Structure 1
């Protein structure tokens, strides 16, 4: 019976091509606008590392004095000072830990073949790669000794490796960062494509760094910060060593904790660390706080998805509702014109349910056609977003879930809009139309 309804629906659409085309276009435009905003929102709010998002935690410490506050909701700074990051890393109280800093270098091969390029880099520990599920194409992370002895070893991202060395493995070759000669020990696939969740300070959707060096080189090479640096007290910073010893917040710190027991143990460690620092004259508040937030909590805390994005999605659904309101009027007019035909069918034995279902199938067919066309319009809109805003190049895309959602939303929306017209036509009184025939 279903396929019979499909056949009747297709014949009905062909009998009124102009009206049918208008309805399909209205659905497609509404779905195109809705899926454009919904796809971007979906990619923004998606879990960036679902396999480990509950095991990775950003560390925050409230080291300000009484009377000094921060602009966050809980009065905790987003980042750590260098003394705290270095102390926590030396204690190694977590399963894995990744202190990190965004910095940069002039990158070249030390010959006339390559023009130096200024690139962002990330100084971090070797644990970074295992913590964030980095996939190595060639080689691996630097040796553990490199984290201790400030060895000049570097891991580069795949696209940079191909740009500098072609398709061959660069492991063991040299790379110049400024005037420093580094040994390439590994080539890694992009750590994240959509959201640079491990460092949200300079924008969640910026391209991640393509160069990774040991954290210990911060002190050795006096690496500059290419990220945010925030202070809360007056300090005389006359040298790089002064900055390292200062209370300026300019580093990020992540730890990996597999379960609640490990999280509780690390929380106890942080309490003890704060008590130790209070004895040294730091953390002078009566009750200084700390925080451990997992990946998704960290993204919510940093408001990665702003209220503007949510409002935009709501407005797009309202636009879809306007399109459906117009479709409802067209469907009502079209179905009621068919009342004499329906009256005859009812007289010949067709039930209200059969008439109702036939018209709902026709509406669903309209929705599916509009949904498919809407996908193409959404893809065109997303292409425009990618071309206009480079930071959204990886966000303005439709994954498999969104591709399936588009026709489903269109069909459901059309069926909802078609309930009233279908109900009206199935209530046709056969006797009235038999008299007029």
Structure 2
């Protein structure tokens, strides 16, 4: 029976080509606009580490020594708190993170000095965040303790400095210090760059930088304190630090701490440890509010920071509003199309066709329109994504249509057309055959 309804639908679509084209165009434009913005939202708001994000937690302690009434602790910590949590080894893995610019040159090349971004961290960073390597590997925990002069570089920097060759063992000069390359990352582009997100909810929606490329240089935090001479970004200070090179003792928050906890029991245990540490520091007179600690997993931290740019969310709402307008237009066109065929429907009813059969026939025709609209919407979506890739935003080069969104394009088009066809099909199925036959 479906094949028969399909044949009737094709005949009807061919018989009213202009009306068919208008309905297909309405569906295609609505799908193209909505799927373009939905694809961008999908790429920007997805889980950056599926299967691992529920084991990675961002720790916060309210280091503020003043009894202020803020509801949340600062996003980052002082040097003392970060080092205390890291060195306690209460988690399966733990890492400290801070980034900064650094002057870099490769002594055995003729390239001029560069000013890339450097991430100072600890050995567990690479295993915790599943960072891929092309050559070599991460430094060891012993290198953190020994303040070893080692570094890992990105695939992009390796291509720029060494033509993509294996550069493990070669030398870089960071500021005035020579470091040995121990690893080269494979192409790695987490979306977003989740590991050093802080302050996103206060940025007025200007969070696109979190979708840029990872840092080009990774060094042990203990070594970077000496190499970079204290020139790190400070998130906030309660008073001016004594000098730029003495952040370890400064009243400033500037370090992020991530921990890996592989079971719910370990999560509960670390929460107790965090609260106990804060209470201890209050007893020492260093902080004012010990109860103000937080431990959010990776996805919760991204949601809290609001990392999806607000303009992308707005565009998505506007696009789906436009799709709704296209849906209502299609309802009107389908209603006019089906009711104009009242005589044909009356004859079929007189020959024994049930209301359900008429309803199914009309829905099959609406589904055909949706399928054609989906094809047009796919082309418009690809065009829209190509325009997004030309925009001057950090995430532009990441935008693409994956298999999931490809399937969703057609599913949304067919669902939209079937939804649009419900009322017209219901009205057509209730046509009185007797009245229609009298008009023939």
State the TM-score bracket (shorter-chain normalisation).
over 0.9
The residue that corresponds to 2:179 in the other structure is: 182
The residue that corresponds to 2:350 in the other structure is: 347
TM-score, structure 1 normalization:
0.92
Q: 1:142 aligns with which of 139, 144, 155?
A: 139
Q: Cα 1:228–1:63, aligned 2, differ >3 Å: closer, same or farther?
A: closer
Q: 1:237 aligns with which of 238, 242, 251?
A: 242
2:180 aligned counterpart, secondary structure: strand
Q: Cα 1:393–1:417, aligned 2, differ >3 Å: closer, same or farther?
A: same
Shift of residue 428, structure 1, vs aligned partner? 2.4
CA distance in 1, matches of 2:403, 2:69: 45
> Once the two structures are superposed, what CA deviation does each residue of 1:373-429 show, in whole Å capped at 9, x if it has no partner?
112212221222221133122553332222111111111111111112112222223
Query: Equivalent residues in 2 for 1:256-405 (5 A)?
Result: 256-285=260-289, 287-305=290-308, 309-393=312-396, 396-405=399-408
CA distance in 2, matches of 1:16, 1:269: 72
What are structure 1's unaligned runs of at least 5 residues?
A: none
> Once the two structures are superposed, what CA deviation does each residue of 1:80-118 show, in whole Å capped at 9, x if it has no partner?
111221222222221111101111223332245323221
The residue that corresponds to 1:44 in the other structure is: 44
1:378 aligned counterpart, secondary structure: helix
CA distance in 1, matches of 2:279, 2:72: 19
Shift of residue 236, structure 1, vs aligned partner? 4.6
CA distance in 1, matches of 2:276, 2:358: 74
> Once the two structures are superposed, what CA deviation does each residue of 1:171-214 show, in whole Å capped at 9, x if it has no partner?
11222323322211112234543201111137432322122111
Work out whether residues 155 and 164 of structure 2, in 8 Å CA contact, stay in contact via their aligned partners in 1: no
2:102 aligned counterpart, secondary structure: strand
CA distance in 1, matches of 2:220, 2:319: 46
Q: 1:221 aligns with which of 191, 213, 227?
A: 227
The residue that corresponds to 2:65 in the other structure is: 65
CA distance in 1, matches of 2:107, 2:292: 48
Work out whether residues 117 and 216 of structure 2, in 8 Å CA contact, stay in contact via their aligned partners in 1: yes
What are structure 2's unaligned runs of at least 5 residues?
A: 201-206
CA distance in 1, matches of 2:66, 2:256: 23
Aligned residue pairs total 431
2:103 aligned counterpart, secondary structure: strand
Work out whether residues 103 and 224 of structure 1, in 8 Å CA contact, stay in contact via their aligned partners in 2: no
- Asked if 1:171 corresponds to 2:171, the answer is no
- Report the more deviating stretch, 289-298 or 301-310: 301-310
> Once the two structures are superposed, what CA deviation does each residue of 1:327-381 show, in whole Å capped at 9, x if it has no partner?
1111111112211122222222222222211111110111111112112212221
Root mean square deviation of aligned Cα: 2.1
CA distance in 2, matches of 1:409, 1:316: 13
CA distance in 1, matches of 2:233, 2:362: 60
The residue that corresponds to 1:28 in the other structure is: 28
Work out whether residues 132 and 186 of structure 2, in 8 Å CA contact, stay in contact via their aligned partners in 1: yes
The residue that corresponds to 1:254 in the other structure is: 258
Q: Cα 1:97–1:190, aligned 2, differ >3 Å: closer, same or farther?
A: farther
Work out whether residues 150 and 214 of structure 1, in 8 Å CA contact, stay in contact via their aligned partners in 2: yes
Shift of residue 272, structure 1, vs aligned partner? 3.4
TM-score, structure 2 normalization:
0.91
